[in-house]
Structure 1
Amino acid sequence: MENTRVVSQSLQHYLESARGDLFKVLHNILLNGETRELALNYMAALVNYNVKKAQMQTDDKLVSTDGFMLNFLWVLQQLSMKIKLDTVDPYYIFHPRCRLGVSLEETRLKATMEELKSWMAELHEDPSKFSEPKFPTECFFLTLHTHHLSILPCCRRYIRRLRAIRELNRTVEELKNSESQWKDSPLASRHREMLKRCKTQLKKLVRAKACADVGLLDENLLRRSLQFYSTVIQLILRMVDPAYPNITLPLNPEIPKSFAALPEFYVEDVAEFLLFVVQYSPQVLYEPCVQDVVTFLVVFICSQHYIRNPYLIAKLVEVLFVTNPAVQPRTQRFSEMMENHPLSIKHLVPALMKFYTDVEHTGATSEFYDKFTIRYHISTIFKSLWQNIAHHGTFMEEFNSGKQFVRYINMLINDTT
């Protein structure tokens, strides 16, 4: 085990060095005024040609490899590291000259397709509303979309691979344990062939996992991704409340159209990345930027009307659940930050009670089964919050006069009977 760790660190070091050279090459091309435009076109084309990598099932022959995309991401992370948020135009993806091909069919945070088309038409009527896209803006959004097409598909593939390894191990064990029953039967040759095939496949998957451990579970890469996502979070929070970081709840009931029209994956990717990190590399969460992440989670869980998809809220709730010390002891500090956040103390309990009742009807065909998982997550969070004396007042206030409490208790009784 120790030997594997040393080899992994050594490979990560070489990888970092090679990527550093790639960065120098691209950086120099971008510094040159004559080649900058072509380089940006190339980078945008890379993103646009790989949009299918975000799909659950992708034909690997039609898209770039995971390794290539992670290398590209690393370079973009370096380029965007020093970008100041004030220089980023949040309207860029709606800009007529946006290099990124964001489909109108892409699910949006709140806007329906009709609302989106109407607002976009209104925006494009007056081109003077748009400022000329600057490099920091283009680089920022290229990096954001590249995260969506590189590290997150890798995370999903990693999880699927682990699941496949577990299943193959189980199959191999079952075949071995039952060998005495089938070795003299007519099906013996078929079972032996199956055992051999499973072992071969298992060996391939274990090797692939070892490679992914080096390329994906690289703490430096994950930390940089978390830092970048914290910048994305700041941008989103500024859109919903320009007073950020002095954000107040409840948010303005009138949802900003620029926020409503953002692709849903801008928020979902943050949640998905956090879920992955908590499970496979929780030490990464010990970063200064985590405060923004906590604020983001609390704000949107407490502002459910800002997001149309209830399953996205459920994913944010799941992040609170998996970072709960009862589930993942190594994220205790993160959990404490969430519990002691000023907005959390006043608003989280009623918001979770509301969501507990709202998931009764999500509109999905699987809503009956989904609600139990979501409610279990909320119940676990409540247990933890109740142990924090700062939340007692909010609980008691909700018990005595809260709008959500009666419905919450009704649902609770229904679920337990």
Structure 2
Amino acid sequence: MSIIEDILLVSKLPIENSNYSVIKLDNDASENGTFSVEEIDAILLYQLTENEYINNPLQYLNNCFQRCQQFKRINRNNPSNEVALQEIDRLVIGYGLVILQIEGFTMNGNLKSYLKDLIANYTNYSDFLSQICKRSIIESSEFELINYFFTELHAFVRKDIIKFNLNDNKMYDAILSIFELFVSFKQIAAVFTKIDNFVSNCYALKANQFESQTLLGPILSLSPLSIDVALRNYGDDLLLEKSQQQVNMLHSSLQAEHKVVIERLFHIIDKIIRGSVESRNDLLSYFGAVVNKNHLRRGDHANSATLASNGFMSNITIILVRFSQPFLDTTYNKIDKIDVNYFNNLNLFIDLTDETRVNSDYKEADEFYDQSRKNNGEENANCKPNFISDCFFLTLTYLHYGIGGALLYDEKITPQIKRLKQEIERIKKLIETQPMFANFANVQLKEMEKNLNIIQSLKLSLKGFFSHKELQTEVFDFICGASTFFIRVIDPKHLFPFEMINLPLIPDQVGIENVDNAEYLRERAPVPFKYYPEFVIEGPINYSLYIAQYNSSPLFRNSRIHSFLEFATMILRCPEIVSNPHLKGKLVQLLSAGSMPATDNSPGFMMDIFEHNELISKNLLYALLDFYVIVEKTGSSSQFYDKFNSRYSISIILEEIYTKLPTFKEQLIFLSKNNSDFFVRFVARMLNDLTFLLDEGLTNLTEVHSIQNEIDNRSKGLPRSREEEDTELEKKLAAAERQAKSSCGLAAKSMSLFEIYSKDIPNAFVSPEIVGRLVSMLDYNLASLVGPKCGELKVKDPQKYSFDPKNLLKTLSTVFVHLSDEDSFIDAVAKDGRSFQRDLFTRAVHILGRKTGLADEEFCMKLITFANNAEERRLADEEEDQEYGEIPDEFLDPLMYTIMKDPVILPTSKVNIDRSTIKVHLLSDSTDPFNRTPLKLEDVIPNEELRQKIIQFKKDKKEGK
């Protein structure tokens, strides 16, 4: 036998017990039993097109190729076979290329039927495929090769698309290896995006079709977040049987596998990106089409079944993040390559239709860009942005709609799980109590338990994904780099971070009324940042707030977090930058999480940066106080309640930085003395909230007390004292409990700030604009806690409602003690005819001193002394009031019904009112209280004539006239 026969498995005569094919060639003229080199082509053609016993011609060629390489190694020093081996090699590879280019060339089967074996035994085919790729490049037929091959490969994967996931390691490994092999050749990578089902039909596809109907879809969907992978790893049996430690091991295993998959996907995408300018633009266009069709992933009522999956979108997000890393490293040497005017371009991959803008409407943004293009010339507008800019802004888009959609999905299914569990329990009880419904209920029960299993598995898979610290650190590092870029855009000099930026951008002296004037701020918002789509900052903020809940959060001990915190401080410090108060609310919520002490009572992980970062330490305090006031208006129907959540977060931060960082304490005291209007406005808003929250909290506790007593009485068979049925009563109890818990918790934090600040800054709490309302609040709540109706606040398990009456009483009393030396405070308490009673203070001292021991003797003495002083002042005031007798209505303040000291005329309603009264009103509402027209304090008109009349009236009464 010759080398030709042994490699090609052919002979001229039958060979016993062998799989050699017997071939008789038409032009065979040789008399010996071997084939010549000239006959190799004919042999291969016969084997592929006529030999019915070769079921898989591609496998046959591959085996011939392998034997040929083996003979090459064996016959390395035997030149007599070199010509034959080279010819076999050339023709085998050539016919391999033909099979992968021309459908129906072989006698048996086609590429579609060969793929199963190729994928199952990929490692045996890899060298052969590599040589076929090289041959196609030499013959300039690489596109014909990949277009046919990958179209069939995609059809093969689509057929088993449900099974194509991380559960089948061997299959997905082979598919990824095939992609990796082909795109490793630059000439192939350059035309890879021209394959028929790559991007050509993208714009006709629905949002959920990209994964199955585009070439890259299946491999980009390889994720632990797919339903099948989640069910297999976190399904019901595992949930019931495995400990948290075992679940964490599952997390770790899937994270390790997913990390490798991401690296391989990035390698594939990177090769295509580097293939050619055309392949790069096609790929970015593909990513753009995917995200543009999936904006509803951030919608309130998004149907996940009609949208791209979390795994698919999150994988693309992480891949884009990796492409952004080189130009967002800590040196920022390439940050100027990102085009700050990127959105002033007609050739964008991102659809900005109807997108909310940072601080403008989209029509205004379109007008700005249209004008800008006219000024710069249409030629410049039609230029393509550079890859760095495209990649950066596409990554921000995916951060919001891609991975941002995944975290929103997690937030949505959490209450679904709770509701499903409750409904399952209800049906189980129904089956026990009403057997007649058992059959029907059992069907429902099985379906619900199945759904619960799916949702719980997905919940755990999301937890595993978001606790993957290495991947999530990459995402957060991108956010930190993006934050630096945004500051650079906003910086009037555009030199940040190489030169510090000075804040605020608008001087604080512009006037208090402009701080929450939306139009004024919009006109002065930084260009072009004000025209950016809002999602470029919403995505980073949503992600950072969400990821902070994980123990493995990339925010912890991250050296780059200072960049993000600088941007956060800047947004809060300069109200003209971002108009959306909800985003600012999320920022303060995140900052509060970073300021709260850890479980070991060590400082919050952001506290060191608050103290030592120059930009933050100079501006954070003012920013927080300013936003505390501005958040009064959120623009939504729920704005009255929205503000409390933001102010609660701000209160946490203020308490932590004031008590633990001396620099901020010094700043606050300085601010209260040197910018009294600003600080008084802040205290006024604090007082408004505290007054409402305490009233709301104590009122709801009274309702809880009433309902609990009623339920207890009914259980004992006593007569009903309320009309509600038991079910309605339970609902009312639950509602009152929710309200009580929320209000009492928020009030406790605000009360804590009053206690802290009133000690060091008493003057701010006794200003004419504040002191009257402060006293009313303190006296009223003191009466609620120790007065005759205090028993109505007794509820079961008060801690459940964040209600600690003894500590609340101590805090209230402490504020009294802190302000007890202020004459105006004593005077205001004495004038509080509604709630002030000296006996209440006596009762408070008894509780704090004797019953609980919360206050020492010195504290109790100060409180009693203050009460006595206020009582003496009250008696003196009564005598003075008796001297005045009946006071003419024109001398009385129309809101407070007290005699005016400095009457002013309101410009539009023409009402006379005391200056101090209208000043207090304007701290909370910048309108005329009588006709709701806009009003500024400087617009009021002094009524000197009326003031003189009042002075004369008082004088006459004292003289007995």
Superposition TM-score, scaled by structure 1 size: 0.90
Counterparts in 2 of 1:34-73, with a 5 A limit? 34-73=278-317
Counterparts in 2 of 1:7-406, with a 5 A limit? 7-33=250-276, 34-83=278-327, 84-103=334-353, 105-125=354-374, 126-127=377-378, 132-172=384-424, 179=429, 183-185=432-434, 189=438, 196-241=446-491, 242-245=494-497, 246-251=500-505, 254-281=524-551, 283-285=553-555, 286-326=557-597, 332-387=604-659, 388-402=661-675, 403-406=677-680
CA shift in 2, pair 1:256/1:350, >3 Å: closer
Q: What letter is aligned with 2:502?
A: T
Are the aligned partners of 1:116 and 1:261 in contact in 2 as well (CA < 8 Å)? yes
Q: What letter is aligned with 1:320?
A: L
2:532 partner SS: coil
Q: What letter is aligned with 1:239?
A: V
- In structure 2, C-alpha distance between the alignment counterparts of 1:300 and 1:90, rounded to whole Å: 18
Are the aligned partners of 1:298 and 1:338 in contact in 2 as well (CA < 8 Å)? no
**Once the 2 structures are TM-superposed, how far is the Cα of residue 393 of structure 1 from its aligned partner?**
1.4
> Which residue of structure 2 aligns with residue 408 of structure 1?
682
- In structure 1, C-alpha distance between the alignment counterparts of 2:456 and 2:363, rounded to whole Å: 47
**Once the 2 structures are TM-superposed, how far is the Cα of residue 89 of structure 1 from its aligned partner?**
0.8
**Once the 2 structures are TM-superposed, how far is the Cα of residue 205 of structure 1 from its aligned partner?**
1.7
- In structure 1, C-alpha distance between the alignment counterparts of 2:597 and 2:338, rounded to whole Å: 39
2:415 partner SS: helix
- In structure 2, C-alpha distance between the alignment counterparts of 1:359 and 1:231, rounded to whole Å: 28
2:413 partner SS: helix
**Once the 2 structures are TM-superposed, how far is the Cα of residue 110 of structure 1 from its aligned partner?**
0.8
- In structure 1, C-alpha distance between the alignment counterparts of 2:640 and 2:543, rounded to whole Å: 27
**Once the 2 structures are TM-superposed, how far is the Cα of residue 415 of structure 1 from its aligned partner?**
2.1
Are the aligned partners of 1:304 and 1:313 in contact in 2 as well (CA < 8 Å)? no
CA shift in 2, pair 1:398/1:188, >3 Å: farther
**Once the 2 structures are TM-superposed, how far is the Cα of residue 392 of structure 1 from its aligned partner?**
1.2
What is the aligned-residue RMSD (CA, Å)? 2.6
Are the aligned partners of 2:479 and 2:540 in contact in 1 as well (CA < 8 Å)? yes
Are the aligned partners of 2:318 and 2:475 in contact in 1 as well (CA < 8 Å)? no
Q: Greater shift after overlay, 48-57 or 291-300?
A: 48-57
- In structure 2, C-alpha distance between the alignment counterparts of 1:233 and 1:294, rounded to whole Å: 9
**Once the 2 structures are TM-superposed, how far is the Cα of residue 165 of structure 1 from its aligned partner?**
2.2
**Once the 2 structures are TM-superposed, how far is the Cα of residue 18 of structure 1 from its aligned partner?**
1.9
**Once the 2 structures are TM-superposed, how far is the Cα of residue 170 of structure 1 from its aligned partner?**
4.4
CA shift in 2, pair 1:35/1:271, >3 Å: closer
Are the aligned partners of 2:545 and 2:587 in contact in 1 as well (CA < 8 Å)? no
Q: Which has the higher contact order (CA 8 A, sep 6+)?
A: 1
**Once the 2 structures are TM-superposed, how far is the Cα of residue 138 of structure 1 from its aligned partner?**
1.2
Are the aligned partners of 2:357 and 2:531 in contact in 1 as well (CA < 8 Å)? yes
Are the aligned partners of 1:93 and 1:102 in contact in 2 as well (CA < 8 Å)? no
**Once the 2 structures are TM-superposed, how far is the Cα of residue 158 of structure 1 from its aligned partner?**
1.2
Deviations 1:235-265 (A, max 9, x none): 1100111232212211257432210001112
1:17 partner SS: helix
Q: Greater shift after overlay, 406-415 or 386-395?
A: 406-415
**Once the 2 structures are TM-superposed, how far is the Cα of residue 191 of structure 1 from its aligned partner?**
6.4
Deviations 1:218-242 (A, max 9, x none): 2122111101111211111001112
**Once the 2 structures are TM-superposed, how far is the Cα of residue 341 of structure 1 from its aligned partner?**
3.0
Are the aligned partners of 2:259 and 2:471 in contact in 1 as well (CA < 8 Å)? no
2:651 partner SS: helix
CA shift in 2, pair 1:6/1:348, >3 Å: same
Q: Select the structure of larger CA radius of gyration.
A: 2
**Once the 2 structures are TM-superposed, how far is the Cα of residue 326 of structure 1 from its aligned partner?**
4.6
Could you tell me the percent identity over the aligned residues? 25
**Once the 2 structures are TM-superposed, how far is the Cα of residue 302 of structure 1 from its aligned partner?**
0.7
Deviations 1:107-133 (A, max 9, x none): 111113343132111112123655641
Deviations 1:77-114 (A, max 9, x none): 222221232211122222111222112x2111111334
Q: What letter is aligned with 2:672?
A: F
Q: What letter is aligned with 2:357?
A: R
**Once the 2 structures are TM-superposed, how far is the Cα of residue 61 of structure 1 from its aligned partner?**
4.2
**Once the 2 structures are TM-superposed, how far is the Cα of residue 154 of structure 1 from its aligned partner?**
0.5
Report how many residues are paired: 413
**Once the 2 structures are TM-superposed, how far is the Cα of residue 199 of structure 1 from its aligned partner?**
3.3
The structure in which a higher percent of residues are helix is 1
Q: What letter is aligned with 2:638?
A: S
